[in-house]
Amino acid sequence: MRNSCYTEKVIELEHKVDEMKPQVDALKRISYSEGSLCITDAAKSLQMKPKALFSWLQGHDWIYRRVGGKNWVGYQDKIKQDLIEHKVTVVARNDGSEKLTEQVRITPKGLSKLSALISE
């Protein structure tokens, strides 16, 4: 009697694994792809509002703002884990001078991790 029950549970779990396989494969493809996304585009990929993702990232120690600063900065541990990166760009101003801008970007590995964490 007991073996029959265990067999049924194993079969049920195997079916669940088969059902989850496409989602797992999709997350693997995302995490191994190249490039990064700005936080707004990452929010769209995660099907959430950008403001909600910024709040989540700040509340879970992924990003912060320096005192008096207006730009977001990523925590070093998240950068070391390759979950986020900083993109620095030189922008030409109308007066001919140049300005450095920086932006926190979500890596594919970070997007995959966020997808798992936010869905919990």
Q: Are residues 81 and 102 in the same domain?
A: yes
Q: Do residues 58 and 78 make contact, with C-beta atoms less than 8 angstroms apart?
A: no
Say what the pLDDT of residue 2 is: 65
Which contacts (CB < 8 Å, 24+ apart) does range 84-89 have?
A: 84/36, 84/110, 85/36, 87/36
Domain that holds residue 7: 1-32
State the number of CA atoms in the 13 A half-sphere of 98 facing the CB: 5
> pTM of whole model > 0.75?
no
| Residue type, position 41, single letter | D
Q: Digits of tens for pLDDT over the chain (120 positions)?
A: 566 777 888 788 888 877 777 666 655 555 454 578 999 999 998 889 999 999 999 999 999 999 998 889 999 999 999 999 988 888 888 998 888 888 999 998 999 899 888 876
Q: Do residues 67 and 81 make contact, with C-beta atoms less than 8 angstroms apart?
A: no
Q: Are residues 26 and 4 in the same domain?
A: yes
Q: φ, ψ for residue 94 (rounded to 5)?
A: -65, -30
The domain total for the chain is: 2
Q: Are residues 113 and 78 in the same domain?
A: yes
Q: Are residues 19 and 70 in the same domain?
A: no
Q: Are residues 111 and 52 in the same domain?
A: yes
Q: Do residues 68 and 44 make contact, with C-beta atoms less than 8 angstroms apart?
A: no
